[in-house]
Amino acid sequence: MPKDALPGLNLCNNAMLRRATRKLGQFYDDVLAPSGLKATQQGLLYQIHVGNEPAMGALAAALVMDLSALGHTLKPLIRDGYLETFADKDDRRIKRVRLTPLGRVKLDEAVKLWEVAQRRFEDLVGKEQAAKLREVLDGIAALDFDLPSASRAIPGKV
């Protein structure tokens, strides 16, 4: 355990995951800074690009976000002209999102920087370990953590 870590952190899965996520997020943000994007924004642009004009609801579900959080995250990317939303041609109630030509240019710029960060991470952790980490995290994201209502009660409380 690093010397600056608090001893209780290693007892909680959530605390350790959040600590590692903050550290890794800061690293990717620093590498992507010349593009003007945060790592989360680059990842979102990429998912929209490979998602072939995804529906907002499907995108939010895939990213384990609610629609309002996704909308909040998309606002600056729409404002800066990288994304646009539009109604689905078959069901106008469904809102879709796509990259603009400017968004494709910005994504290309950011992906080059992302590749630098990705290589550095894999050099430090190992390619195989990095792949295993992604697999484990994907498995965790797929778990159903919903508790039956009776289990939500505080122990000892009626």
Predicted TM-score (pTM) of the model is 0.83
Return the pLDDT at 53: 94
Q: What is the pLDDT of residue 150?
A: 54
DSSP annotation of 126: -
Report how many domains make up the chain. Answer: 1
- Residues 119-123: what's their mean pLDDT? 97
- DSSP string spanning 66-121? -HHHHHHHHHHHHHTTSEEEEE-SS-TTSEEEEE-HHHHHHHHHHHHHHHHHHHHH
* 86 in any annotated domain: yes
The verdict on residue 148 lying in a domain is no
Q: Does residue 5 fall inside a structural domain?
A: no
Sorting pLDDT into bands at 50, 70 and 90, what band is 19? very high
Q: What is the pLDDT of residue 146?
A: 82
Instruction: Give the pLDDT score at 149.
Output: 62
In a domain, 68, yes or no: yes
Tokens representing residue 9 in the block = 């952190």
The amino acid present at 130, given as its one-letter code, is A
Question: In this structure, what CATH number is given to the domain that contains residue 71?
Answer: 1.10.10.10
Is 25 domain-assigned?
Answer: no
Answer yes or no: is 87 within a domain.
Answer: yes
In the predicted structure, residue 156 carries a pLDDT above the cut 70: no
**Contact predicate 39/107, CB 8 Å:** no
Say if residue 2's pLDDT is above 90: no
Q: Is 138 a residue whose pLDDT tops 80?
A: yes
User: How does pLDDT run across 39-84, given as a tens digit for each residue?
Assistant: 999 999 999 999 999 999 999 999 999 999 999 999 999 999 999 9
Residue 34 lies in a domain: yes
Q: Average pLDDT in the 16-22 region? A: 93
Answer yes or no: is pLDDT of 90 > 60.
yes
In which domain, by residue range, is 118 found?
30-142
**Average of pLDDT values for 8-24?**
88
Upper half-sphere CA count for residue 28 (Cβ side, 13 Å): 21
